[in-house]
Structure 1
Amino acid sequence: MNQLDSIRGLAAFCVLISHSFSLFTLPVVIDKLLKATGVINAHGAVMLFFVLSGFVLSLPFLKEDKIEYTSYMIKRLFRIYVPYLVSISFAIILSQIFLSNKIGSVSGYIDSQWKTVLNGKLLLEHIYFIGNIHADSFNGVIWTLIHELRIALIFPFIVILIKRLNWKISILLCFALTSIKVLDIVFQIQKSNGFHSSYIDTLSYISLFIFGVLLAKHKTDAISFFKKLTFIKKVLFFMISILLFNFSGLIIFDLLVLTKFSVFSKFGLIIQEYGMGLGAVGFFIIAIGSSKVEKALMAKPISFVGKISFSLYLYHPLVLLSCIHLFYYTLPFWSICIITIVFSLVVAYTTWKFIEVPSMRLGRSLAKRVSTSQSNRIKSQQMLTKNQ
């Protein structure tokens, strides 16, 4: 389902635009328009990544009862961890090069980056990676990869569980996992050293992965449901998905202002993330249920961004911060923004071709060897048993 890669690409591009546009204050009308259309919605894009991972990764496990865990983990490590190691190495080197470079205030996101002196503890944290690390020290976007790898360790078993449960019980499980995050907010059980990088955060984000697993499990029904809708109802379905994905945060904010209820202040982000997750599910149903949408998503520019989406997500902060440090006193912010977008795409393509693709290819090769070795070992044991 290559059209889903295209959606991932659009989401990654949305994160790039969101971070690049933080260089300057947009007029209120333009800002609201960009947020309403999803052009600026970095956090929503991340929730989409989580749902999409749950959907795509669960498909093989839903087809077969047998789990080749070692092969699966090898492929995941070479898909995520190896490209991450290369990117974080570049991030650390660049952050230390520009550490002494003094620039003025730009924005909350920009001002918080590349202010950390490297030490042995931080280096070990970023090598170990899946701990509760200071994930915003060198590349702020890696917090999502921490959850991806943590959840990857137990994901096959999550799929087996969801496969056996009906969807209502599965949703209750999502609420149960998120309730632990609620308790953490109230009682401050575990401090997050980075942006949402605690283990309790991971438990909450498992819910978004389960959304994806449920969609994969009921994929045929979801496609059938969407195809039977009239054109007007399909448009309405799309609008509801847009509303959930792009406006969950704004609705929570407005409710807080109107009602003064502290519940919207304390737990607003959780409610917002569920809304974004459900909106993402709606987008995926449309993408796999409509041939016209699939064709549009497979247009070359969109599919290209889909291919390089992971590298684009990983490297765009490095390009953005480097451009700011290099051109802060010589170019206007709008020029830096354009340069960032162009060079982020160039760097993403380069790293995709020379780092990401070879890493995935090597991971698949090693996983195949392990799988073949395990199969041969099982056959040998079966032969010995028969001979005895």
Structure 2
Amino acid sequence: MRAQRYAALDGLRGFAAVVVVVFHAGMAAPVLAGDVGIEEGHWSWWAAETPLHLFWAGPQAVYLFFVLSGFVLTLPFLRRPRPSWLGYYPRRLVRLYLPVWASLAVAVGLYFLFPRESRPGASWWINAHDMPLTRDGLQHDLSLLEWTTMLNSPLWSLQWEVYFSLLLPVYVLLAALSRRVRFLAPVLALALLGLTALGESTLTAWLVYLPMFGLGTLLAAHREEVGRLLRGMRTWAWGLLLVVALLLVETSWLPSPVAPMIATPLSVAGAALVVCAFLYSPGAVRVGEFRVSQWIGRRSFSLYLVHEPVLVSLAVVLATTNPAVILGIGLPLAVLASAVFYRLVEAPAHRFSGQVGRAFGGGGRSRAVTPPAAAAPVAVAPAGAPVPVAPVAVAPAVAPVAVGRPED
């Protein structure tokens, strides 16, 4: 039976990638980067202290990426026949690393074409790109295992994607167990949010980010129950749920600022609700399946990887701190660059990763990790640096599932 495809999640991924681009354009402005205070009534106040902040909520968009990754990567291992773990690991690592390495080549080229030099009046974020290009820094950027540099700063989030990908069997096991033990799923969800809160309070990055993927795995394991709960909702109820989700996603503009140890778990919970909306809300699904949504969604990983060197180069060449200018010129350039990158790098890497996975997996199926009762057939901070402010991929029980690109 052909796998069911939830194309709206591709569109959602594309929206999140565009939000990250807008965020980085905003970071070129000292007032939005936090270099100077924001005066009430100033345009920056409207951008930062009202719900308009949702349009450039970059960190929260990365949380959404993490929840989506947890959902998508877990699904194939919760159905029979399960993919081979021997094929999964090389396929996944090739899928991640080849585009990352190519994006670093692009970043190095732009680094030399448009030298990054600190200048008075520029934001700290733009000036932070005035850094020497060293072998040690490049090795860390290429490996994604410890810390990353400002050469292509969104790569910080790919570090956590790699760690999650390596730890996927643990997540799958917990998700499968949550289907066997009554009420374990909500307990695990609260525990994961609690770990994120603990990570924020102790400044422990892995505790902040790795639990976010876990919410996606739980949603994958319980998508049928969630679907039964949400599918019959009326339009007004979906509207209310989306308002609540967005309020949770972005708390920085609320009258009383919320501490990170509370705000971040709330944002992750809101991101999970947004994913639910794009799974089950007819209106959200239609928006996610618009042709333009699908086009940008398929290229969202490429856009995420190449946009930042483009925007920084533009800010350096124009010597401007005006985010409207950088966004107005930079967004079309970044989208064009992502289209070229997708055609020349990401799509071929995707095909090659599948070939590598088949070569190692041999078409075999895993017989471990998921307890039999749970396997009923079913359809982007670098160490030593401040916590990053920017990044950077449910069906009837009788059908296999494909959600967007399986390797994302």
TM-score range, shorter chain: 0.7 to 0.9
Residues 224 and 289, structure 1, Cα contact 8 Å, conserved in 2: no
Q: CA RMSD in A?
A: 2.5
Counterpart among 156, 162, 168 of residue 149 in structure 1:
162
Per the alignment, in what secondary structure is the counterpart of residue 144 of structure 1?
Answer: helix
Match of 1:122 in 2: 137
Q: Describe the shift of the 1:160–1:20 C-alpha distance in structure 2 as closer, same or farther (beyond 3 A).
A: same
The structure with the larger Rg is 1
Match of 1:188 in 2: none
Counterpart among 64, 87, 93 of residue 71 in structure 1:
87
Structure 1 residues without counterparts, runs of 5 or longer: 186-199, 257-263, 376-388
Counterpart among 343, 349, 354 of residue 339 in structure 2:
349
Per the alignment, in what secondary structure is the counterpart of residue 130 of structure 1?
Answer: coil
Match of 2:224 in 1: 220
Question: Are residue 369 (structure 1) and residue 359 (structure 2) matched?
Answer: yes
Q: Relative contact order (C-alpha < 8 Å, sep 6+): which is higher? A: 2
Which whole-Å CA distance do the structure 2 matches of 1:233 and 1:244 have between them?
Answer: 16
Which whole-Å CA distance do the structure 1 matches of 2:283 and 2:223 have between them?
Answer: 18
TM-score (norm 1): 0.81
Counterpart among 204, 208, 211 of residue 204 in structure 1:
208
The alignment covers a number of residue pairs equal to 344
Shift of 1:374: 5.7
Residues 67 and 156, structure 1, Cα contact 8 Å, conserved in 2: no
Counterpart among 23, 26, 44 of residue 21 in structure 1:
26
Shift of 1:175: 4.9
Q: Deviations over 1:68-101 (max 9, x none)?
A: 2231122211221110011112213322444464
Match of 1:184 in 2: 202
Which whole-Å CA distance do the structure 1 matches of 2:272 and 2:194 have between them?
Answer: 20
Q: What does residue range 127-146 of structure 1 map to in structure 2 within 5 Å?
A: 127-131=142-146, 133=147, 135-146=148-159
Question: Are residue 9 (structure 1) and residue 14 (structure 2) matched?
Answer: yes
Q: What does residue range 15-94 of structure 1 map to in structure 2 within 5 Å?
A: 15-24=20-29, 27-28=43-44, 30-32=46-48, 35-36=51-52, 38-64=54-80, 66=82, 68-94=84-110
Per the alignment, in what secondary structure is the counterpart of residue 39 of structure 1?
Answer: helix
Shift of 1:274: 1.3
Shift of 1:297: 1.5
Per the alignment, in what secondary structure is the counterpart of residue 167 of structure 2?
Answer: helix
Amino acid at match of 1:146: Q
Q: Describe the shift of the 1:307–1:100 C-alpha distance in structure 2 as closer, same or farther (beyond 3 A).
A: closer
Per the alignment, in what secondary structure is the counterpart of residue 91 of structure 2?
Answer: helix
Identity of aligned residues (%): 23
Amino acid at match of 1:214: L
Counterpart among 259, 265, 269 of residue 274 in structure 1:
265
Question: Are residue 171 (structure 1) and residue 189 (structure 2) matched?
Answer: yes
After the TM superposition, which segments of 4 or more aligned residues of structure 1 sit over 6 Å from their partners?
Answer: none
Amino acid at match of 1:250: W
TM-score (norm 2): 0.77
Q: Answer 1 or 2: which has greater helix percent.
A: 1
Residues 96 and 118, structure 1, Cα contact 8 Å, conserved in 2: no
Q: What does residue range 248-263 of structure 1 map to in structure 2 within 5 Å?
A: 248-251=251-254, 254-255=255-256
Match of 1:193 in 2: none
Amino acid at match of 1:93: G
